[in-house]
Amino acid sequence: MLRLVVIALVMAYAWFGFLCVISGETVSIVLTLVLWIPLAVGLWLLMPWARYLGLFVLLSAVWASPIWELSGWIVVDDTPDPLPVREQFVFGFAPLFILSAFFAEVLFAYGREFRWPRIPREVAARSVSSPPLPRSWPLWCFAVIAIPAAIVESLAEATDLAGGCFANPLAASHNASIVVRFLWSNAPPGCIVLGLLAFLISSPSGERLWTKVIRALIYGATMYEIYEGARRYIELTHFC
């Protein structure tokens, strides 16, 4: 699994570097020379520093993907006719978020493979235990894929039930319909709590407490960011 992830990341970073170079901008070219090319080479050689830098880049993408692809900034800065929130979630947000989270999970688990100097294969086969991957990939997928989708769907359904538009940002939470208020204000936080429990349960067995705490903080903050970003996106695209 690690080799497949490394190949995918190397190809992605090489592509980013290529795009930066053809853009012709000095900053982009410098970024390619100091980040994308060294990172691609370092990951291919399984260098420890490349793993840490790769984790930083991937976790930054996880955290920033709601801002880049699912927030009010998309409506303000993008084309005059932004996509409906469901399509924006599927085609804009989900690929970057899910792939970044999966690649970060694998890089974190295979830390022993990035030791330097390299451990001989015969010694590694006898002494190194299996990598600490999630104990349940179905639960991990539920927390990382299904929960964000449920948050966005809950907000989108509330919008549809409210007639497709809101007079002001408080109109949804003060709507006369209890179903609309529930779907807009109560269901998404409940999804976040449920996803957090599933994410922690799916974490590797024997994981340290401080690692679980960091996992919980990153997951909870990112899900809340998705919730707030989708709310702002809908409010700006369904204003009447």
pLDDT digits (tens, 9 = 90+) for 75-119: 776 566 778 888 989 988 998 899 999 999 888 888 878 766 555
Question: CB burial class (10 A; 0-12, 13-18, 19+) of residue 12?
Answer: middle
The answer to the question of residue 55 being in a domain is no
Based on the fold, state whether residues 110 and 205 are members of the same structural domain: yes
Based on the fold, state whether residues 6 and 70 are members of the same structural domain: no
Based on the fold, state whether residues 39 and 117 are members of the same structural domain: no
Q: Is 166 helix (H, G, I), strand (E, B) or coil?
A: strand
Based on the fold, state whether residues 187 and 100 are members of the same structural domain: yes
Q: Which domain holds residue 143?
A: 65-237
- At 171, the amino acid letter reads A
User: Rounded to whole angstroms, what are the CA distances from 71 to 16, 58, 118, 178, 237?
Assistant: 23, 19, 44, 26, 11
Long-range contacts of 155-159 (CB under 8 A, 24+ apart): 155/85, 155/183, 155/184, 155/188, 155/227, 155/230, 155/231, 155/234, 156/84, 156/85, 156/86, 156/234, 157/183, 158/183, 158/184, 159/85, 159/234, 159/238
The answer to the question of residue 54 being in a domain is no
The answer to the question of residue 73 being in a domain is yes
Based on the fold, state whether residues 35 and 76 are members of the same structural domain: no
> What is the count of structural domains for the chain?
2
The pLDDT value given to residue 168: 62
The pLDDT value given to residue 122: 53
Question: Which residues in the chain show pLDDT less than 50?
Answer: 125, 127
Based on the fold, state whether residues 85 and 24 are members of the same structural domain: no
Based on the fold, state whether residues 113 and 21 are members of the same structural domain: no
Based on the fold, state whether residues 221 and 141 are members of the same structural domain: yes
The answer to the question of residue 177 being in a domain is yes
